[in-house]
Structure 1
Amino acid sequence: MTKQTTAVPLWEIDHPYYAAEGNHYKNGLHNLFASWAEFTETTFHDGDRDMNLLYRWDWKKPGHHGWGGTETLLLFFILQRKAIACSAEMPVTTADEAAVRAWLTECADTMRATWEPLLPTPA
């Protein structure tokens, strides 16, 4: 018998601490998109994962973790080649979750490759 696991919805994941939108040292680096679909047409989505390194994401859904705004995805990047911190924000719906999860998983693979030599070997 195999143990079946159910993925936790992205909006129920509570990351420790928080990240500030944009860049403390330069204005204009918080990018607003009208939808997940619009975001997918950008280099943030399809660009080089190492140069546009996603280091954090937060799915905010009204009623979860005290969020009172609209359902929103916040993405936090380091553009490594130029040492620029920036962020992206867009409204999302539960219908976007599968596509967002797939993309976040690709981004996680890039982050994992960076830290792999220090991570424990899976059992």
Structure 2
Amino acid sequence: MTDPTNPLAGIDAVMAEIRRTQEAADRALAPVRELQEEIRRTIAPILAMAEQASRAAAAVGFGMPATKRLWEIDHPYYGADGYTTHCESFADLRHSVDRIDEDMNHVYRWDWEDDSQPHREDLFLEGEPRDKQKFRVFMVLPRKSTFIEFVCPVTHDDEPAVLEWLRSDRVLGAMRRMWEPVLGDPTGGA
């Protein structure tokens, strides 16, 4: 019998109940903990393969962070002449390109034209406005023996969305799938 005037008198019974509750919770959670461990064991080799693939991709230039802003990159020459579609925005351009069959038609080049960049100085007369920016995407349609170009106005604020799309499965991923069979081991092995 416990003394009702002693505030610590029932503590042993409360502690025993807490222990029983904790043991019941541990028993109930045991299958969950086992499942978590099994998932960790299963996913570890997958993560290791992903890391290895990432290192291999980096060795051949895939997935490398851009060292320049997209508008600072001056590709040599120009894309091939062909049909040109003028889009109202980058979102419109992306939608137009994404709806074309990627297995048969490839984005092979892009250009971000920022007229304010020094490498474009020789294209303007003195005093001529140089505040426009355009994003161009060039595609080859091999089955139709033709090239198409999509053009839209852009601003520097569009760069994250453009870069994400260029690195996406639709653009870089399609080129990667085309060339993967000949890439082999970029470290020099077979």
Give the TM-score band, short-chain normalised: 0.7 to 0.9
Query: Is 2:87 the counterpart of 1:33?
Result: yes
Runs of 4+ in 1 over 6 A off after TM superposition: none
Give the one of 51, 71, 75 matched to 1:15.
75
Distance 2:157 2:65 in 1: 17
Structure with the bigger percentage of helix: 2
Larger C-alpha radius of gyration, 1 or 2?
2
Could you say if the C-alpha distance between residues 116 and 62 of structure 1 is closer, same or farther in structure 2, counting changes exceeding 3 Å? Answer: same
Distance 1:69 1:118 in 2: 43
Instruction: Give 2:156's aligned residue.
Output: 94
Instruction: Give 1:61's aligned residue.
Output: 114
Distance 2:165 2:65 in 1: 18
How big is the shift at 1:89?
Answer: 0.6
Structure 1: segments with no counterpart, 5+ residues: 24-28
Distance 2:69 2:136 in 1: 15
Distance 1:47 1:120 in 2: 29
When the two structures are superposed, what TM-score results if normalisation uses the length of structure 2?
0.51
**SS of residue paired to 1:49:** coil
Instruction: Give 1:26's aligned residue.
Output: none
Distance 2:86 2:109 in 1: 16
In structure 1, give the amino acid aligned to 2:177.
A
**Would you say the 8 A contact 1:50–1:80 is kept in 2?**
no
**Would you say the 8 A contact 2:108–2:139 is kept in 1?**
yes
**Would you say the 8 A contact 1:71–1:91 is kept in 2?**
yes
How big is the shift at 1:84?
Answer: 1.9
- Equivalent pairs counted in the alignment come to 112
Structure 2: segments with no counterpart, 5+ residues: 1-63, 124-129
Structure with the bigger percentage of strand: 1
How big is the shift at 1:120?
Answer: 5.8
Instruction: Give 1:49's aligned residue.
Output: 102
**Would you say the 8 A contact 1:30–1:87 is kept in 2?**
yes
Distance 1:103 1:46 in 2: 14
Instruction: Give 1:115's aligned residue.
Output: 179
